[in-house]
Structures are given as C-alpha cells and as structure tokens.
Chain A
Amino acid sequence: MSRLLKFNIFRYNPADEVSEPHMEEFVLEETDSMTLFIALNRIREEQDPSLQFDFCCRAGICGSCGMVINGRPGLACHTKTKDLSGEITLLPLPVYKLVGDLSVDTGSWFREMYTKTESWIHTTKTFDPTAIEERMDNKQAVDIYELERCVECGCCVAACGTARMREDFIGAAALNRVARFLIDPRDQRTENDYYEIIGNDMGIFGCMGLLACEDVCPKHLPLQNQLGFLRRKMGITSLKKIFKK
C-alpha cells in the first residue's frame, strides 16, 4: 500500500468575490516516480478543476513552476514526492503579484528587469550578412552560457531577504544578468555604464550577503561568485569615481 499524501494548498481567486485566502487540504495516493507536476494535475483533474498553478515544459527547463514547497522556493516539476514527508505544504512565490492559488505573475517582473538592466548587447557595429562571423574564444562562450542558464523562475528573488524587505531591490537574477553582459566582449558598455545601473543600494550594494539565492537556484547558477565579482568590480569603479573628482 503506497502512502496517502496530504497536500495543504494556498487557495485564493481574486476574480471571485466570495473567495477568501485560505489553506485547503487534498489527499492523494502516491504513485511511483510521482512529481508535484503529476500530483497537482491529478488534484485538478480528479478533485478540484478550478485549482490554478503554472507548468510548461515540466522538465526543469522553462522555470514556470516556481512555488514555495514546504517552506522553500523551488521548481515543482522536478520535486519528487518520495523526497518529501507525507504532508506537503504549497504556497505561491512571494514578491510577485498573485494571479490565483499557486500562480503568480513573473512575466511582468522580469520584463521590467530587462528594461532596467537593458538586457541586450549594446554595440555600434551593424550586422553584415556577407561577412563571416566574428571569432570568439570557446572558453569565453562557455562562460557566457553558464550565466545565461537562468530560467527566470523567480526562486532567487522569492528567497532573498533584501527583496522581501525592499521592493526596489533588483535581485540576484538581475545582477546575474548584468554579469552576463559584463563578461561578453560583444557588449561595448563600460564599467561606468554598469555602475549607473547597479552601483547603488537598489543594486549590488543592497545585497546583504545572505545568499539564499544560490541555495535555492534550481539551475545551480554560481550566484554567490557573481555577486562577489560584481561587488568587487563596482566597488573599484566607485573608488575610481571618487579619486577622479
């Protein structure tokens, strides 16, 4: 006989005038290789068709299904029930606007982040379709990809002490994004340009160094190193600015 799993799930539908935020209990029999993706879909199909949650690739690649699982932000799709106790509490990610139940709006948050960090290659060069590509060292390409692996699930920001206290803190995902462009030789921005974006308390100097971001990152991005790298770089840039005056 397999385990009976007890799920405590946050429920609230803002579009329903009689809905109040509350926790609701569902019981489900565990099956082999069960993940929270399988479990939540079964609850929706068999018990409550109105239950809201977000999944997309269900393979840990897209970052849709960030939620707070037994107190810790993580991706639901690659969370196996056999790794959890028989009682599972699911809450929506904090920081992001709630859509309903376990579903939050990460899209608007990240779109704003792209604008803040100007998340694209800044170059005066134009593309020449008749020329061969510019050369790049493979090691450099691999290093850039390492930072590009962020899936924007939002777990790092949801777990961040600063972001929870200060709405204007840019968060580890954004700082990692800046680092990605900083090491890219194709981007012509200078350290001073990056300083304008993150050289303040909303940016790198706001980080209190608690580093839950790295602990919860489902892609195991080297966030701790990136935050240290940026803090050093921006610290030096800041000193240079002072001595130039």
Chain B
Amino acid sequence: MQTIYTDLLVVGAGLAGERAAVEAADAGFSAICLSLVPARRSHSSAAQGGMQAALGNSVMGEGDSPDVHFADTVKGSDWGCDQEVARMFADSAPIEMRRLAHWGVPWNRVVPGKSIYYKGGKQYDKVEKEEKEGLIMARSFGGTAKWRTCYTSDGTGHAVMCTMDNRCAEVGVEVHDKTEAIAMIQDGDVCYGVVARCLRTGELITYLSKATMIASGGFGRIYPNTTNAVICDGGAHTLCIETGVVPMGNMEAVQFHPTGIVPTDILVTEGCRGDGGTLLDVNEKRFMNDYEPDKAELASRDVVSRWMTHHMREGHGVKSPYGEHLWLDIRHLGAEHITGKLREVYEICTSFLGINPIHQLIPVRPTHHYSMGGVRTNRDGAAYGLKGLFSAGESACWDMHGFNRLGGNSLAETVVAGGIVGKKIAEYLEGCETTFKTSLISDVVKKQQARIDALVNGTNGSENVYKVRAAMQVALNKGANIFRTQAGLEECVATLQETLIRARNVGLRSNGKGVNPELAAALKLEGQVKMGLMVAYGALQRTESRGSHNREDFPARNDRDWLNRTLAYWKTPSDSLPTLEYEPATEVVEIPPGDRGYGKSEIISADDNKE
C-alpha cells in the first residue's frame, strides 16, 4: 500500500482548504489537499452571490466599516456566535478581498456616475463617486445595513476558486483529486493523518502528516432536498465523529435558503432579492413587506424562510405536483440585468425549469442550504480534542455564524478563515515534531479493510444502502425542518435510532470492485446517521428559538438558559445517542444580546429570574 507524507494534509480542496494550504506553502511547508473532485468543482465554486467585506467603495456602502459588519454578523447569528471570532473576521475581510484582487480575481468595479437600482420592486437612482472609480464594487444582500457584498457577476465563488486553485498550482500545493478520506489516524491525543480510498482505482492509501485540516464543506446531503452539491455529504465529518473525542458544535443550527427552485432544489442567489427581486404568493401579491415592513425580502434568511413557510401554511402557496411553492419575481430588473449580473440565474431557469425569468415568475421555496454547525474549533481553527487537527470553512464551527449566517458571509469566511487558520497551522508546524507509530497506522488500515470486506461480503446483513440513506433523509426532513416541535423531534430521533441499526447492517449488492459508488456510499452511512442524530437530538434538547432553530413550542429566544453552544460527541461507537455538552456562546461580549431589528420574537433576558 502506498504511504504519502506531507507537512499539512487538507481534507477538501475548496476555498478554505486551498487558502490555508497556500499559507502553509508560503511558509515553506509541503501541503496536499485531498478532494472528491478536481478542486475547481468544489462546492465553493457554486456560490453565486458574493463575499461580504466592509470596503465601503460604493455610494450605497458609505459609512460602512468592520464595526458595522461585525454588528450585522452578531445580530444575524441571533447572538449565538463567538464575538471574538466574528470581530477577527470582520476586521480581516477587506484585506482578504484586496489580496484576492492582487492574486487575480476579476471583482466587479465601481463605475462612476448615475445608475438605477431596485429595492422592493421600486426603482431608485444612485450616483457613484468619481474618486472611487475602479475600486472593488459591492451589492446588497440580506441582513446587512450597507451594500457590502463584493462580487464578480453572479459567479463569485467560481471566479475566486479559479484564482485560488491557480495560486495553488503556482506555489506547489498538490491536489489529489478523486481521493476520499475514510478514517482518521489518531491515538486519542494526536491526529497523524488519514486513510483514504483512491476514486480512480479503489485502492487504500495512507496519508501521514504533522497537521491535518478538515475543510470539506457542509453536509446538506443528509437532507433529501438541499441546494448542496452531491459531494457535500459530511463524509469527512464522520471521521471526526468516529474519534469520540472531537465534538461537533451547534449541529441543530441548519439554514434553509428562501429561494431553492422547485423541483430540482438548485439555489438561485440572494442577489436576486438584493438587486430588487420580490417574493409573490399564489395571487401574485407581495407579502414580505407586510410581515417585515422595514427589511421586507431582505431580512435574514431564517426570517424570510420562516415567513414564507408561514404564508404557505396560511393557504397562500402555489400548488404543484412537487408540493407547494411561492414565486420569485425579477422581471422588472430587465433583460440586460438578468442576462448580465444575474446570468447564472437566467441559465438555471432556462436550462432546468424551461422558464424565462425576464418574462416569467420563478417557482421557489425554502430549501436546506447551509450547516452552521460542524467540527468545533477554537479561534485559531484548532479542533477540540485532538492535537494537530484543524478545520475551517463550512465544515467547521469556528463560530462566526451562531444560529444563522448572513448571505455573503460564508463565502467570505472560507478565504478569511482559511488565511487566519492557515497562518496558525504554519506556526504550529514551525515548532512541531511528530513520531509516527507504525502499529497504530497498520491497525487503522486493517480496520478499514475489514469494514470494506464486511460490506462486500454482507457479513453484517443485507440492508440496502440507498434505502437506509433515504430513510435518514426523510426523517430529518420531517422532524428537523424550519419549524420544530418536541413531538416531531422525538419521533425523528426514534426513527434515526432505528435507521442507525439498519445502517450497521448494510451489505452491498454489487461486487465492490474498483471505484465502486455503492461502497463509497456505504462507508459513510453510519456516520451520516450519527450526524443526523446530533442535529435532531440537539434540536430536541434546545428548548428555545434562536436564529434558524425554531421551536414552535418554545418561541422565545432564551438568553437566560440557552446563550450557549451545543457540543455533540459520539463517545463510544456503539452508543445509540450522542452525548451533549454545552459551553458559553462567547467569552468576549462586545454587543450584549438584544433585538435583531427584524423577525419579531419574544426574548427571555439573561437577567430574568429563573422560574
């Protein structure tokens, strides 16, 4: 079996992973990124809208600063974030955008003079200043006080991903694509790398490293309807969960995006609403302005998704063979705008729906979109529980998003956190000496080979991997969705516990030879169900509503009892439930909990007496 050594091993080659790898390479260390797909196909590339950074170049961003960005982020998180981390992020974001410009990103730039823009379907004028000509432009996004979202048309993620991967090629960061990590090599104290399966041949490969980073993105594919790419299946998270010592933070914090298209769940960007698109109901009437007079369609995602679901429950949804939905209207933005700045949206509508958004309404509904939770790290990106293990980007719970993240903050997080954590990894590598124990490595490899053999031979049973996976997805969709209740979550947990037993009894129907896709799905299934249980059980225990986590039976945000972060461990592999622990949401408090200014909700203050 092949063994490969590198100073830094990154699981994932999206923006966060490659950004960190570049930082390590610049400091003179070797770095390899493992990826299921060629780096540029990573899900980072699908982010259309942009990256939030308080550059304040546009006239609509005047008066913006990292302080305002920080405040928006904390409010957006519903005070669930780590404020020290949010502060680092907001302060670093403008510099990172300029760095990306230096590396080659073709950001849209300020064009001086008069131009029109739309807000809530109405047309307004703005005049961009002469002295700002050619500086990085920004657009409007939900939940923000200023126009702050830097963009390249509506292919921001794609453009930045190209530049970052170019940079990797330039500085010698290797990307081993079609390679899937299936187990971590660790002894309960230190992480030494991973065992991976080559998706060109099916062979196992050992990767040894001084530092290992999880930068594998979200895990939306544990839900049946998600905007996430098929590779966002949480495979790398399952490696961490399996250690028993690395906790997952705030797994119950799951974001639903207001505008997934029906039926294929593909995301159309928040830029549609940022640029003036409106939401309409079955009578083609606007409704968000009634629920949120101030922000209307541009309240934060959790709030808009909730009102949309509420509005459909009230009987104002559009009936379709794929269930109820609402309409997104961008017709008034005009052909030039739609085929220019919103071209990807135009292409998605015409290619996948057969709809022309210049003349027709787009069918949308709230769809699973983002995982605020993930591998819990400290502010340096070091994972709790294992030395030498780091994480950044959507896979991590670093935690600048708390219980709801703002549009444009996640794509910005990938490069900002990637840079900060990459620097910390380089510092760690500087003073690091590692000894690899061969018996530990061979034990892990043998165990993985035994797992594969058991699946191929059907030693544990003959459950069908796709059916068990579907059972998990359906249970989560039913019980751990936008609105949650005790009864629904209890049923969800019970169903997932049965599903966990079935997941342990999977056997392949095919022969498992080579790059067998059934085997790949089976290897991660048990871990995925465990993640599902972390989501549902965490949501059941959290008897409050905060950000994207909405308990209909506990509608108030409860700062007295729940101003904290859930840490979910799977202590023993044979357990049937995760072990939950809690820590304060933030040590540093710059902005004490208050009203968000949108999404009316009752608040139980930390000063209220216990009942």
Task: Give which listed residue, A62, A80, A132, contacts B135 with CB less than 8 A.
Answer: A132
Given known pairs A59-B352, A61-B158, A141-B152, the reply for A50 and B109 (CB within 8 Å) is no
Looking at the assembled complex, report how far the CB atom of A62 sits from the nearest CB atom of chain B, in whole angstroms.
4
Assess whether A141 is in contact with B106, with CB atoms less than 8 Å apart: yes
Question: Given the complex of chains A and B, what is the CA–CA distance between A106 and B37 in angstroms?
Answer: 9
Q: Is the CB of A58 within 8 A of B153?
A: no
Are B511 and A152 interface neighbours, CB within 8 A?
no
By the criterion CB–CB under 8 Å, are A138 and B134 in contact? yes
B95 touches A129 (CB 8 A): yes
Q: How far is the CA of A106 from the CA of B110 in the complex (A)?
A: 37
- The reply on B167 being an interface residue by CB < 8 A is yes
- Residues of chain B contacted by A56 (CB below 8 angstroms): 36-37, 41, 43, 229-231
B471 vs chain A, min Cβ distance (A): 13
Q: Nearest Cβ in chain B — how far from A237, in angstroms?
A: 23
**Residue B101, interface by CB 8 Å:** yes
Residues 93-121 of B, flagged 1 when their CB comes within 8 A of A and 0 if not, give: 00101110111101111110000000000
CB contact between A133 and one of B38, B98, B263 (< 8 Å): that residue: B98
- B137, B199, B344, B511: the one contacting A138 at CB < 8 Å is B137
Q: Could you mark each residue 32-52 of chain A with 1 if its beta carbon is under 8 Å from any beta carbon of chain B, else 0?
A: 110100000000110011111
Contacts of B102 in A (CB 8 A): 125, 127, 133-134, 186
Which residues from chain B contact A60 at a C-beta distance below 8 Å? 347-348, 351-352
List A residues 198-215 near B (Cβ within 8 Å): none
The interface size bin for chain A is 35 or more
- Given the complex, which residues of A lie within 8 Å of B605, measured CB to CB? none
Q: Which residues of B contact A45 (CB under 8 A)?
A: 466
Q: Known contacts A15-B513, A58-B230, A119-B169; decide if A105 and B178 are in contact (CB<8 Å).
A: yes
Do A16 and B514 touch (CB < 8 A)? Answer: yes
User: Does B577 reach chain A (CB closer than 8 Å)?
Assistant: no
Cβ–Cβ < 8 Å partners of B229 in chain A = 56-58, 62
Partner of A58, one of B111, B135, B266, B518: B266
A44 to B: closest C-beta gap in Å: 7
Is residue A78 contacting chain B, with contact meaning CB distance below 8 A?
A: yes
| CB < 8 Å neighbour of A13 from B99, B159, B178, B513 | B513
B242 shortest CB reach to chain A, Å: 24
* Distance between Cα atoms of A49 and B520 in the complex (Å): 11
Whether a CB of chain B sits under 8 angstroms from the CB of A121 is yes
Any chain B CB within 8 A of the CB of A242?
no
- Residue in chain A with minimal CB distance to B137: A138
Q: How far is the CB of B94 from chain A (nearest CB, A)?
A: 9
Q: Say yes or no: is A228 at the interface (Cβ < 8 Å to chain B).
A: no
- B167 in contact with A120 (CB, 8 Å): yes
B8 at the interface (CB under 8 A from A): no
B104: chain A residues at CB < 8 Å are 120-121, 184, 186-187
B264–A33 CB distance below 8 A: yes
Asked if B293 is at the interface (CB within 8 A of a chain A CB), the reply is no
Q: Decide yes or no whether A63 CB sits under 8 A from chain B.
A: yes
Inter-chain CA distance A62–B348, complex, in Å, is 13
B residues contacting the other copy or chain, number (CB 8 A): 73
CB-based contact A50/B518 at 8 Å: yes
Q: Which residues from chain A contact B199 at a C-beta distance below 8 Å?
A: 99
Tell me if A144 and B133 are in contact (CB < 8 A).
no
Contact B103 A121 (CB under 8 A): yes
CB <8 Å contact, A15 and B134: no
Determine if A115 and B177 form an interchain contact, defined as CB atoms under 8 angstroms apart.
Answer: no
Q: Does B516 contact A (CB under 8 A)?
A: yes
The 8 Å CB contact of B264, one of A58, A134, A141, is A58
Given contacts A15-B202, A56-B231, contact A136 B109 (CB under 8 A): yes
User: Is A86 interfacial (CB-CB < 8 Å)?
Assistant: no
Decide if B40 touches A152 in the complex (CB within 8 Å).
yes
Assess whether A80 is in contact with B37, with CB atoms less than 8 Å apart: no
Q: Assess whether B515 is interfacial by the CB under 8 Å rule.
A: yes
Those of B76-105 within 8 Å (CB) of chain A: 95, 97-99, 101-104
A contact residues around B348 at 8 Å (CB): 59-60
| Interface contact B134-A111, CB-CB below 8 Å | no
A114–B169 CB distance below 8 A:
yes
Kindly state whether residue A167 has any CB partner on chain B within 8 Å: no
| Minimum distance in angstroms from B524 CB to a CB of chain A | 15
B509 at the interface (CB under 8 A from A): yes
B511 touches A148 (CB 8 A): no
Q: With an 8 A cutoff between CB atoms, is A222 at the interface?
A: no
Please pick, from B41, B134, B354, the residue contacting A137 in the complex, using a CB distance under 8 A.
B134
B200 in the interface (beta carbon within 8 A): yes
* Contact assessment for A149 and B155 in the assembled complex, using a CB-CB cutoff below 8 Å: yes
Q: Is the CB of A149 within 8 A of B166?
A: no
Q: Is the CB of A32 within 8 A of B517?
A: no
Mark A13-37 against chain B: 1 for CB-CB distance below 8 A, else 0. Answer: 1111000000000000000110100
Q: In the complex, are the beta carbons of A145 and B106 less than 8 A apart?
A: yes
Contact B40 A142 (CB under 8 A): no
Residue in B135, B515, B517 whose beta carbon sits within 8 Å of that of A49 in the complex: B517
Chain B: minimal CB distance from A196 (Å):
17
User: Is B508 located at the chain interface by the 8 A CB criterion?
Assistant: yes
B513 touches A144 (CB 8 A): no
The 10 A-B pairs with the shortest beta carbon distances in the complex, nearest first, are A15-B514, A135-B134, A50-B510, A107-B38, A49-B518, A107-B177, A144-B106, A120-B166, A62-B41, A138-B109
Interface residues of A (CB under 8 A from B): 13-16, 32-33, 35, 44-45, 48-52, 54-64, 78, 80, 99-100, 103, 105-107, 110-111, 114-115, 118-121, 125, 127, 129, 131-138, 140-142, 144-145, 148-149, 151-152, 184, 186-187
Given A105-B178, A111-B175: 13 more A-B contacts, CB < 8 Å: A33-B353, A35-B264, A49-B510, A49-B518, A61-B46, A99-B199, A118-B170, A133-B97, A138-B108, A138-B111, A141-B108, A141-B109, A145-B106
